Amino acid sequence: MKFLDEAKVYIRSGDGGAGSVSFRREKFIEFGGPDGGDGGRGGDVWVEAVNGLNTLIDFRYQQHFKAKIGMHGMGKNRAGAKGDDVTLKVPVGTQIFEEDEETLICDLTQEGQRFRLAAGGNGGFGNAYFKSSVNQAPDWANPGLPGEEKTIWLRLKLIADAGLVGLPNAGKSTFLAAVSRARPKIANYPFTTLHPNLGVATIDGQEFILADIPGLIEGAHEGVGIGDRFLGHVERTRVLLHLVSAQEEKVGKAYKTVKHELEAYGNDITDKPEIVALSQIDVLDDETLKKKTRELARACGKTPFRISAVTGSGMTEVLRALRDVIVEANAGTEEEKPAKAPKLRHRDMLVSDDEGEGEDHEDHQG
């Protein structure tokens, strides 16, 4: 399946149905009068985060989504039916932006969250609604209100616990393949990874999700190489694993190059806990390994892990370090959660699976 993390979509909610102008005419009924029903409400456009998706590729082939219009009212006080809604199914972690690509509409971070992007137009009143003591035979009705239309941007930021960063050929994809069932493309040339990959790592019976993104090179924030556009996929992670290949001639410079690109990207990504590891150590002799370990330690200010995904050396230790940071971060998040608020039923709110959509009790508008 192809990977797509950004899509432009046009949406339109349904127009409301028109009210009916009708009068009751039946044999032997002395008093007839108006009996035109109200028009039905137009369908809404919703977006919902669902499980089992990790790309927006479906929106490459369909960019227009229109809800159904409400049915017109009819005689005998028959109200028109509501138009069918349209729901955009998106992966968990999708953000919805206005057409300016800056105004955030909603951020769907949990499975089952829903948000109404465009409300359907209200149906018009039939002439029975206007009957009064001073006007017992109104001969007019209201048209339905138009729906809403807009162009929006969908932007996906994958949900993962840990993110892998580093230069191309730092061994990120090999690491992911060694600790999970993910099978990213692995080859001995730069930019083998062209889009993010996810994998589930397990250590001591505990699981966490790893995200591998394409490598960063000097000038990535200016668009050099693949650029830094995929860094958004590690914004939500709890910890970064910075891999530096032992085959680099200057491992300290390699570390600082990636660090500089992370700082240039911004969005507080450098504030995340960072674990540094010297990878591919199986290609070095002991003396060279010690020298490069000291050089990398000076550059990053801490003792790096030394790992080899091929031989398995050091892999358990680095996985446990990642797990410890993730568990600690998750525990802190649980403590910061406020007391559970009463359930709201506002139709534009983000709702979970168990909350439902609520009833729509909004009156028709004339």
Q: Are 67 and 147 in contact (CB under 8 A)?
A: yes
Say whether 20 counts as a known binding-site residue: no
Note every long-range contact of 298-303, with CB atoms under 8 Å and residues 24 or more positions apart, other chains counting.
298/252, 299/251, 299/252, 299/253, 299/255, 299/256, 300/242, 300/255, 300/274, 300/276, 302/276
Say whether 94 counts as a known binding-site residue: no
User: Helix or strand or coil: residue 30?
Assistant: coil
Say whether 212 counts as a known binding-site residue: yes
Say whether 133 counts as a known binding-site residue: no
Give the integer Cα–Cα distance in Å for 160 and 151.
29
Say whether 309 counts as a known binding-site residue: yes
Say whether 195 counts as a known binding-site residue: yes
User: Which pairing describes strands 94-97 and 149-156: parallel, antiparallel, or unpaired?
Assistant: antiparallel
Say whether 191 counts as a known binding-site residue: yes
Say whether 214 counts as a known binding-site residue: yes
Say whether 166 counts as a known binding-site residue: yes
- For the sheet containing 149-156, what is the strand order? 64-66, 6-12, 149-156, 94-97, 104-108
Say whether 348 counts as a known binding-site residue: no
Say whether 170 counts as a known binding-site residue: yes
Say whether 199 counts as a known binding-site residue: no
Give the tokens for residue 311. Answer: 């031989």
DSSP string, 62-119: --EEEPPPPPPPBTTTBPPPPPPPEEEEEETTEEEE-TTS-SEEEEE-STT-EEEEEP
Say whether 275 counts as a known binding-site residue: no
Say whether 172 counts as a known binding-site residue: yes
Say whether 305 counts as a known binding-site residue: no
Say whether 169 counts as a known binding-site residue: yes
Say whether 226 counts as a known binding-site residue: no
Give the integer Cα–Cα distance in Å for 304 and 320.
14
Say whether 73 counts as a known binding-site residue: no
Binding-site sequence positions for Mg(2+): 173, 193
Binding residues for GTP, by number, are 166-173, 191-195, 212-215, 279-282, 308-310
- Detail the residues annotated as belonging to a binding site: 166-173, 191-195, 212-215, 279-282, 308-310
